[in-house]
Chain A
């Protein structure tokens, strides 16, 4: 992926030399043309076209922001409710993710999800222990959200 970006920047610089004008607009035009060339030559690269991964990262950031808003609403509801009806608890969640940065990202994402907070990670990096604010309605809904997060993170990390 890094190689493709570097190649694209190099092609943009080449375009600036062709035009013999070193300005930002020439660079952008050259970059877009380079992107087109890389897109046409995509069968010669071993990894995916990098633009897909960039989109996946943007998607993940948007997901982060959305979850942050939703979790604040959930906390607001619990705090401003005059009666304290929550039933907290800690549950375990198996994860398929392997590398360290993926698990860190997942843990951060879970912490910003409505009503959940990561307490611990098992030694073999397989299980996340999550404290839920309200374990009854959390259990199922959270499980499905986790799957979508895991998928979004895999979308970023997948190389082929």
Chain B
């Protein structure tokens, strides 16, 4: 395995793990459902994406095996994660979950 591939794998997987940890901290720290959703839907998307990318490169570099299922997994996560985040926040809003008291503006409440 060449040094370049090794470093790429290490960097991909470490950054992916780091982003997942940050997402977990964000879910603990942020004040309400909507802001938590920001952290969860964005950081984990890129975190899982980078981890999968690292795995893909690892198996390509060691076994010379290009695993197309990992590519499919990356694409599916990329498409579905923002939709899931949107649906959770929409369901929360329509069941009447309050915004945190920091919020300054709520245009949706004036909707007819």
Contact = CB atoms under 8 A, between A and B. Distances in A.
Contacts of A115: 38
B35 interface: yes
Interface string B7-37: 0000000000001001101100111101101
Nearest to B79: A108
Given A89-B103, A129-B107, A117 B37 contact: yes
A87 B102 contact: yes
B57 interface: no
A107 B86 contact: yes
B2 interface: no
A12 interface: no
A133 B89 CA distance: 13
A91 B85 contact: no
A120 interface: yes
Contacts of A88: 32, 34-35, 99-100, 102-104
A111 B82 CA distance: 6
Interface string A102-125: 000001100110010111101000
Nearest to B80: A108
Nearest to B99: A88
Contacts, number: 109
A68 B35 CA distance: 17
A87 B103 contact: yes
A6 interface: no
Given A72-B43, A90-B108, A118-B86, A79 B103 contact: no
B89 A79 contact: no
Interface size class of B (residues with CB under 8 A): 35 or more
Contacts of A131: 34, 37-38, 89
A71 to B, nearest CB: 5
Q: Which one of B23, B31, B49, B104 has the highest number of Cβ atoms from chain A below 10 Å of its Cβ?
A: B104
A133 B34 CA distance: 8
B100 to A, nearest CB: 7
Given A72-B19, A129-B107, A129-B108, A117 B43 contact: no
A108 B106 CA distance: 21
A76 B22 contact: yes
A30 B39 CA distance: 49
B4 interface: no
Interface of B: 19, 22-23, 25-26, 29-32, 34-35, 37-39, 41-43, 45-46, 49, 78-79, 82-83, 85-86, 89-90, 93-94, 99-100, 102-108, 111
